[in-house]
Amino acid sequence: MGNIEEQDLKDRLSLIESMIAEGRRTTESWGWTFLLWGVAYYIAIGWSAFGRPAIAWPVTMIAGGVLTGVIGSRIAGRNPETTTGRAMAAIWIGMGISLFILMICLGITGRLELHTAVAIVGAMLGGANATSSIILKWKMQFACAVVWWAAMVAAVFTSDNLAGIIFLVAIFFCQILFGIYGMIAESRRNKVRAGEQGAFHA
């Protein structure tokens, strides 16, 4: 009886580990979204700096949302859906919709002040990255959460210039670099898989 229970426990632990690994692979395969939204933030910030911030953020966010939906639906159709993948998607979709609606409303009403915007984005992206990293036991993504939280705190206690610089740095590390890292990891994994399939068929 003890051996059966021990084997059952090992099987469950193995299942959990495989789900965590699958979750990391899923997140890596969506690395392009981190990169896309990092670029979108830069575009919105640059556009706002040259005037018309009330238009810059809503237009950029809508364009980013449409691109994410179109590209994401094509990619998702080629990959099998998993429970962990759905959980990760739920975290980011929920956060994305909340941030999307809030930023658009603030932009349209002209209430999108720098300190508030950075604090909101830092808090929401920090929370999403932290939740995902805890589920996936992924230290690198938790580091992104810490950077976003630091940006959030800086936005409240620092000057406009410093808050803006910290925001740009956080976007670079947590969106651009992390997204590129995910894309590279996925590319390497696909090459290994292709090599294994080629060896098998040979």
pLDDT (0 to 100) of residue 141: 92
Alpha carbon of 152 to those of 35, 108, 161, 163: distances in Å?
20, 22, 14, 9
Pull the structure tokens for residue 17: 């580990």
pLDDT (0 to 100) of residue 122: 94
* Backbone angles phi and psi of 158, in degrees to 5: -115, 175
Average pLDDT, rounded, for the chain: 81
pLDDT (0 to 100) of residue 12: 58
Reference 117, options 49, 55, 164; nearest CA is 164
Listed by start position, the domains of the chain span 2-192
User: Residue 36: is its pLDDT beyond 70?
Assistant: yes
Q: Tally Cβ neighbours within 10 Å of residue 71.
A: 13
**Distance, CA of 180 to CA of 111 (rounded, Å):** 33
User: Residue 113: is its pLDDT beyond 70?
Assistant: yes
